[in-house]
A and B are shown apart, each in its own frame.
Chain A
Amino acid sequence: MAAVFQGLGAATALSVSNSLDSRKFLVSSRKSLSERKASFLVVRSDGRVVPRSNARGRRAEQLITNAVATKPDSSAASTTSKPGHELLLFEALREGLEEEMDRDPHVCVMGEDVGHYGGSYKVTKGLADKYGDLRVLDTPIAENSFTGMGIGAAMTGLRPIIEGMNMGFLLLAFNQISNNCGMLHYTSGGQFKIPVVIRGPGGVGRQLGAEHSQRLESYFQSIPGIQMVACSTPYNAKGLMKAAIRSENPVILFEHVLLYNLKERIPDEEYICSLEEAEMVRPGEHVTILTYSRMRYHVMQAAKTLVNKGYDPEVIDIRSLKPFDLYTIGNSVKKTHRVLIVEECMRTGGIGASLTAAITENFHDYLDAPIVCLSSQDVPTPYAGTLEEWTVVQPAQIVTAVEKLCQ
Chain B
Amino acid sequence: MAVCLRTSRAIINSLQSKVGLLSMISQSSCWSSLTHHREPPFSSLKAQNVRDPDANFCDKATLYSSRRFESVKTEKQFNSPDDVDHYQILDFPGGKVAFTSEMRFISESPVERAHCYRVLDNDGQLILCSKFKKVSEEMAIKMYSDMVTLQTMDAFFYEAQRQGRISFYATTIGEEAINIASAAALTIDDLVFPQYREPGVLLWRGFTLKEFANQCFGNKADNGKGRQMPIHYGSNKHNYFTVAATIATQLPHAVGAAYSLKMDRRNACVITYFGDGGTSEGDFHAALNLAAVREVPVIFFCRNNGWAISTPTTDQFRSDGVVVKGRGYGIRSIRVDGNDALAIYSSVHAAREMAISEQRPILIEALTYRVGHHSTSDDSTKYRPVDEIEWWRSARDPVARFRKWIESNGWWCSEAESELRNSVKTQLLQAIQEAEKIEKSPLAELFTDVYDVPPSNLSEQEKLLRETIRRHPQDYPQDVPI
Contact = CB atoms under 8 A, between A and B. Distances in A.
Interface in A237-289: 247-249, 257, 260-261, 276
A33 B452 contact: yes
A30 interface: yes
Contacts of A190: 225, 448-449
B283 A148 contact: yes
Interface string B31-63: 101100100100110000000000000001100
B246 A146 contact: no
Interface in A197-256: 205-206, 208, 212, 224-225, 227, 247-249
Contact of A323 (B224, B254, B455): B455
Contacts of B294: 137, 139
B66 to A, nearest CB: 11
Taking residues whose C-beta sits less than 8 angstroms from the other chain, chain A's interface range is 35 or more
Interface in B369-387: none
B235 interface: yes
Contacts of A166: 34
Nearest to B456: A30
Nearest to A90: B30
B439 to A, nearest CB: 16
Contact of B263 (A134, A155, A248): A134
B244 interface: yes
B241 A276 contact: no
A187 B282 contact: no
Given A152-B255, A155-B257, A257-B30, A117 B44 contact: yes
Contact of A116 (B26, B68, B227): B68
A160 B263 CA distance: 12
A53 interface: no
B144 to A, nearest CB: 30
Interface stretch (B3-11, B112-120, B284-292, B429-437): B284-292
A-B pairs with lowest CB-CB distance, top 6: A148-B252, A152-B253, A152-B256, A142-B286, A30-B456, A145-B286
Interface of A: 27, 30-35, 90, 108, 112-113, 115-118, 120-122, 128-129, 132-135, 137-140, 142, 144-158, 160, 165-166, 175-176, 179-180, 183-193, 205-206, 208, 212, 224-225, 227, 247-249, 257, 260-261, 276, 323, 326
Given A149-B290, A160-B256, A188-B223, 13 more contacts: A34-B453, A133-B65, A139-B294, A140-B290, A145-B251, A148-B249, A148-B252, A153-B260, A179-B244, A183-B244, A187-B244, A208-B31, A323-B457
Interface of B: 23, 26-27, 30-31, 33-34, 37, 40, 43-44, 60-61, 64-65, 68, 191, 193, 222-225, 227-228, 232, 234-236, 241-242, 244-246, 249-257, 259-263, 282-283, 285-287, 289-290, 293-294, 448-453, 455-457, 459-460
